[in-house]
Amino acid sequence: MATLLSIVTRRAPARLRSVASAVSSQIRHISTTPLDLTCGRVPLVHIRSQEANISPSDAPTMIDEQKELQSLARAFADKEFAPKMQEWDENQHFPIDVLRKGAELGFGGLYTREDVGGSGLGRLETSVIFEALATGDVSTTAYISIHNMCAWMIDVFGSEEQRQKYLPKLTSMENFASYCLTEPGAGSDAAGLSTTAVKKGSHYVLNGSKAFISGGGSSDIYVIMARTGGIGPKGISCFIVEKGFKGLSFGKKENKLGWNSQPTRAVIMEDCEVPAENLVGAEGQGFSIAMKGLNGGRINIGSCSLGAAQASIEAAIEHVKVRKQFNQALANFQNTQFKLADMATSLLSSRLMVRQAARMLDQNHPDVASYCAMAKLHSTDECFKICDDSMQLHGGYGYLKDYKVNVYFRDSRVHRILEGTNEVMRMVASRALLSE
């Protein structure tokens, strides 16, 4: 554990250092099976943009650090998420107390700067952490990723006053955040949103509604995109809206197929008064902020899919070793072996694509949007199929709610829709190809 403590001391905020000793005894050994090899094997020469001068000879140290961060996240997921995942799913419970425990380890501000309580990590490191957390509960991890995206937007594009006002309580998860872009009439066509923001004196007055908002009604802070100008993307601006602002209300709690540990509601603005100082960036900058946020969001949701697939494969292996048919374990049948090999291959290819896109995001690569789109497309499609294949290997048992594989299956299905549908991901990738 000396290595973990040294990593925490070197890279994490003070509040993460203070709990490191207490958590160290929980650290789980991550097996070095072929399923896990790439969790720490992607070259980390450019793990963070500010570390671009690290030489190739330093890469093993960075790889070790990444695996230790993975172990910390996996230990937390195994202890705090996995035993309660099915209960949270069944009861549609939003685990606020557990989320705040995670924030004590730095999960509330993974790539937010350290002066406001963030962990200051790169997107590659964060991808590893989200995958590890998602093995315990995909839905809860996905909410953490959304919360982090909101904090990042304020950290990067907000004023210093906004950063100091909002981020300390977001990184500690004393307050929770929701991202509001999608509307009833503007899903894939995000630039077509109709929510308006009209400047009146020292306030903006917002009118409109947002649909399918994770954390809606429960979150304290809403990062909302609204139209301050004409049609098209250049007329969109970004606002921080607090739960208690006059004119803000919420729709009914949606009854969903999956993602049940996080509430989903419409966010409604009826003459909602927002102080002018809550404009993030400049007027007309909102769409650019949203799209940059979605690049990271696509990596995050791909990472959550990796976690669902990893856990599904682990569950399938455990099941086929003990389940017998025709007087022998299912694991002895070549069909089972080939299926597991295909699942592992798909997971490996997905993981490599997600990690590569995350590294490009850290490097601010000019082609990052298309790479993030392709990584999201491939990983969410393939990992959902892995979850489906795991259910198939479980047979009728996989269809019972007593078995966790059906939760991974249901939770990962929506990943092919949100953060830009996979059809839109194909559009983004093909547009980049045809513009060359």
Residue-wise pLDDT for 239-284, tens only, equals 999 999 999 999 999 999 999 999 999 999 999 999 999 999 999 9
What residue type is assigned to position 244 of the chain? G
pLDDT digits (tens, 9 = 90+) for 285-331: 999 999 999 999 999 999 999 999 999 999 999 999 999 999 999 99
Query: What are 173-223's pLDDT values in tens digits?
Result: 999 999 999 999 887 777 789 999 999 999 999 999 999 999 999 999 999
Q: What is the C-alpha to C-alpha distance for residues 24 and 17, in angstroms, rounded to an integer?
A: 11
Strand 328-329, strand 324-325: pairing: antiparallel
How many other C-beta atoms are found inside a 10 Å radius of the C-beta of residue 63? 17
Q: In angstroms, rounded to a whole number, what is the distance separating the alpha carbons of residues 28 and 248?
A: 44
Domains of the chain: 2-171 (1.10.540.10), 177-286 (2.40.110.10), 294-434 (1.20.140.10)
Q: Which backbone phi and psi does 365 adopt, to 5 degrees?
A: -65, 140
Mean pLDDT computed over 333-341: 97
Mean residue pLDDT across the chain? 88
Are 240 and 221 a contacting pair, CB within 8 Å? yes
pLDDT, tens digit, for every residue of 130-188?
A: 999 999 999 999 999 999 999 999 999 999 999 999 999 999 999 999 999 999 988 77
User: Does 391 have pLDDT greater than 80?
Assistant: yes
Question: What φ, ψ does residue 203 adopt, rounded to 5°?
Answer: -130, 160
pLDDT tens figures, 209-222: 999 999 999 999 99
Range in 23-37, 40-54, 308-322, 373-387 with the lowest mean pLDDT:
40-54
Catalogue the active-site residues: 419
Of 5-14, 302-311, 363-372, minimum mean pLDDT range: 5-14
Phi, psi of 318 (to 5 degrees): -60, -40
pTM of the model: 0.87
